């Protein structure tokens, strides 16, 4: 695929890209430089700070020629998919490409110059992912900024996105234990963003932005819409409403007031997708059935109704009580009152004890749930009644 050329559109923005490589070489020693605020991006003086910040993050600055080389000129055989930013191609970095950069597969995202996103989204991604490192955030290896071309180079995630794994008809259905592992990983990634020194609101939490490693470790990608959270006495930040239909919190759509609770709503939508195997918005369904939250939210706290919406592709292979707990958690995340939603740290605390479920043994275990904690206990079927009774008795003794 040929890389498109077009007259420059970003004269307002900083000229740092053209100097970045040189600075990256000379400023590698810098440590603990604060992430710059994206509010400052329009300032011309920020260029220096930005390049220093990026240099400290150890991102590699690639040339377009290098990225053409590693993707075989963006060959269609290396095409992974395309979203709002532009096409994504698989590439392979050989050791010989650069000293100090290990051989590895990567995903190269190329800005579509005729698309809706642009320099600002590219820059937001570079600034946030350059600074923030966590096991549940996709790693940005580097970037390229040549003339009007903008590219991002990520670690390659062999299982693609949760969206592909969950909704593609040709894929083997994701077993319950994997769904929970993914929910927990994504929750940890979001907790990290919300609780970092300078909290970040992700703003685009959805199944296609959760990428999966070979062992189904979930990593959040695409911080192009992320924003620094409210500071000091601020309760929210006011922004143009951005995000993805079907995932966006209702109060944010109505008021434009963004808080971390908006991300938690979106997290609730993804939990609902994991439980039901249905897309948050499915335009192929009849009108009244298109919006997953509207259609199923009222069923989440009622076990008899819940069973009607659990993904049939699971074929009953799931721990009933754990699914009920996840559904109750989704219900809370989807509360219309943001203050009633749990924090992401609380979400992690609820999900953590539910994760140890062996799909192969579904049906041979019963579960007892302590009502005063979030602990789910598993008992082999032979001893189920006695042991379950003992545990319940212990509580009242």
Looking at the Cβ atoms of 221 and 292, the one nearer to ligand ATP is: 221
How many amino acids of this chain bind ligand ATP (CB under 6 A)? 22
Packed helices 176-194 and 260-276: angle between N→C axes, nearest 10 degrees: 180
Q: Tell me the closest approach of the beta carbon of residue 64 to ligand ATP, in angstroms.
A: 18
Please indicate whether residue 204 is annotated as part of the active site.
yes
256 near ligand ATP (CB under 6 A): no
Closest distance to ligand ATP from the beta carbon of 326 (Å) = 24
Q: For residue 236, what are its two tokens?
A: 């929210």
Residue found by looking up tokens 């040709």 in the block = 170
The pattern of x and - marking residues 220 through 239 that bind ligand ATP according to CB under 6 A reads -xx-----------------
Which 107-136 positions form the footprint of ligand ATP (CB under 6 A)? 107, 109
Binding ligand ATP by CB under 6 A: which of 36, 126, 141, 157?
157
Task: Tell which one of 14, 154, 192, 247 touches ligand ATP (CB under 6 A).
Answer: 154
Residues in region 65-124 near Mg ion by CB under 5 A: 83
Residue 353 interacting entry, from Mg ion, ligand ATP, none, C-beta within 5 to 8 Å by type: none
Angle between helices 17-26 and 46-56 (to 10 degrees): 50
Query: Which two three-digit tokens encode residue 138?
Result: 């996709």
Stretch that binds ligand ATP, among 156-164, 230-238, 308-316, 340-348 (CB under 6 A): 156-164
Q: Are 243 and 225 in contact (CB under 8 A)?
A: yes
- State yes or no: residue 80 binds ligand ATP (CB under 6 A): yes
Does residue 160 belong to the site contacting ligand ATP (CB under 6 A)? yes
Exactly one of 125, 222, 263, 311 binds Mg ion (CB under 5 A); which one?
Answer: 222
Least spacing, CB of residue 321 vs ligand ATP, in Å: 33
Does position 209 interact with Mg ion (CB under 5 A)? The reply is yes
367 belongs to the binding site for ligand ATP (CB under 6 A): no
* Closer CB to ligand ATP, 46 or 274, in the complex: 274
* Torsion on CA atoms 165, 190, 109, 80, rounded to nearest 10: 0
71 binds ligand ATP (CB under 6 A): no
List residues binding Mg ion (CB under 5 A).
83, 208-209, 222
List residues binding ligand ATP (CB under 6 A).
80-85, 88, 107, 109, 138, 154, 156-157, 160-161, 164, 208-209, 211, 221-222, 244
- Positions marked active-site: 204
């Amino acid at each position: 695929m040929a890389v498109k050329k077009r007259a420059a559109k970003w004269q307002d923005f900083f000229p740092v890209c053209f100097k970045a490589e040189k600075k990256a070489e000379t400023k590698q020693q810098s440590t603990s430089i604060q992430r710059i605020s994206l509010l400052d991006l329009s300032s011309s003086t920020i260029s220096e700070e930005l390049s220093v910040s990026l240099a400290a993050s150890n991102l590699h600055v690639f040339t377009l020629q290098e990225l053409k080389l590693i993707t075989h000129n963006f060959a269609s055989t290396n095409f992974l998919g395309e979203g709002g930013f532009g096409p994504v191609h698989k590439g392979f970095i050989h050791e010989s490409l650069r000293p100090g950069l290990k051989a590895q597969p990567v995903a190269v995202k190329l800005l579509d110059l005729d698309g809706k996103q642009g320099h600002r989204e590219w820059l937001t991604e570079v600034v946030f992912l350059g600074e923030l490192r966590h096991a549940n955030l996709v790693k940005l290896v580097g970037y390229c900024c040549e003339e009007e071309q903008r590219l991002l180079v990520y670690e390659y995630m062999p299982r693609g996105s949760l969206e592909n794994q969950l909704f593609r008809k040709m894929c083997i259905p994701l077993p319950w234990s994997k769904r929970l592992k993914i929910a927990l990983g994504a929750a940890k990634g979001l907790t990290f963003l919300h609780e970092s020194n300078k909290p970040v609101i992700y703003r685009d939490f959805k199944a296609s932005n959760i990428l999966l490693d070979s062992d189904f470790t979930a990593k959040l990608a695409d911080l192009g819409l992320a924003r620094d959270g409210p500071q000091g006495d601020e309760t929210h930040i006011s922004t143009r409403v951005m995000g993805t239909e079907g995932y966006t919190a209702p109060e944010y759509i109505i008021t434009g007031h963004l808080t971390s609770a908006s991300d938690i709503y979106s997290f609730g939508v993804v939990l609902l997708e994991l439980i039901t195997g249905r897309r948050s918005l499915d335009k192929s369904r009849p009108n009244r059935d298109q919006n997953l939250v509207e259609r199923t939210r009222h069923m989440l706290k009622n076990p008899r109704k819940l069973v009607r919406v659990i993904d049939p592709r699971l074929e009953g292979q799931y721990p009933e009580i754990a699914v009920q707990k996840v559904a109750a958690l989704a219900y809370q995340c989807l509360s219309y009152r943001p203050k009633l939603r749990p924090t992401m740290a609380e979400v992690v605390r609820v999900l953590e004890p539910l994760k140890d479920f062996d799909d192969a043994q579904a049906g041979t275990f019963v579960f007892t749930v302590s009502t005063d904690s979030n602990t789910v206990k598993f008992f082999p079927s032979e001893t189920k009644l006695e042991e379950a009774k003992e545990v319940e008795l212990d509580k009242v003794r």
